[in-house]
Amino acid sequence: MVAMSLITNDDHKRVAEAIRAAESRTSGEIYAVVARRSDSYFFVAGFAAACGILLASVIVALAAHWYWFTIPLPTFGLAILAAFLTAILLLWLMPGVTMLLVPRRVRYRRAHQNAVQQFLARNVHLTSERTGILLFVSLAEQYAEVIADAGINAKVHQDEWNGIVSLLTHHAKKGELASGFLLAIEKAGLLLEEHFPVSPGDINELDDHLVEL
């Protein structure tokens, strides 16, 4: 089954045009990627659910002992197994529930790993002057990141990208993904233009479009 596009074809064209316009003023290269999610988190959520069920079973066992209520061991064991299988089935059938059981630091770490993988897989690190940047958004984690190559990091500190990260995150949360990328591309272009103005003979080394994962 083909996944539905996150933005319209017209918005894709607008993003591509924005990238070309920004790159026309700088020797830097801009690459944009949006992911629906950076991991299934099934096993992480399953572990969290198992820990919760184990804790609940201990509490129930202590309460039963305190109130002199006898629970046959086979019944108690089957109840724990049924609870675990129900939780796993729920996570399998409703992937959105998994995000509720995954700590934020885990979500952000997985999203960051995905961003780095995309930076390398899309060859953003292979431009001739090492002046490529990746604008990355992972929607399920509500995570955004700007990764700049070595040539840019030598002149532009990561703190200068934080405003763009906040902009991408803010618009993604509001469901305004295309608008967020358009504004981020414009601001990234201005920042690159300041430090890396376009040079004679400059060529376009990366595709000018938004990649959906």
Residue holding tokens 């690159």? Answer: 192
Residue pLDDT, tens place only, 165-212: 999 999 999 988 999 999 999 999 998 888 888 887 778 888 888 999
Distance of CA 197 to the CA centre of its chain: 30
Residue holding tokens 């319209």? Answer: 8
pLDDT for 110: 94
Kind of pairing between the strands at 29-35 and 143-148? unpaired
CB 104 within 8 A of CB 71: no
Could you give the CA distance from residue 170 to residue 180 in angstroms, rounded to a whole number? 8
Residue holding tokens 């995000």? Answer: 99
Q: What Rg, from alpha-carbon coordinates, does the chain have?
A: 23
Question: For the whole model, what pTM was predicted?
Answer: 0.83
* DSSP conformational letter for 207: -
Q: What is the pLDDT along the chain (213 residues), one digit of tens a residue?
A: 456 788 889 999 999 999 999 988 888 889 999 999 988 888 887 888 888 888 988 888 888 878 777 777 788 788 888 888 888 888 888 877 788 888 889 999 999 999 999 999 998 888 888 888 999 999 999 999 999 888 888 788 778 888 899 999 999 999 889 999 999 999 999 988 888 888 877 788 888 889 999
Could you give the CA distance from residue 166 to residue 6 in angstroms, rounded to a whole number? 20
Could you give the CA distance from residue 17 to residue 12 in angstroms, rounded to a whole number? 9
pLDDT for 1: 45
pLDDT for 93: 83
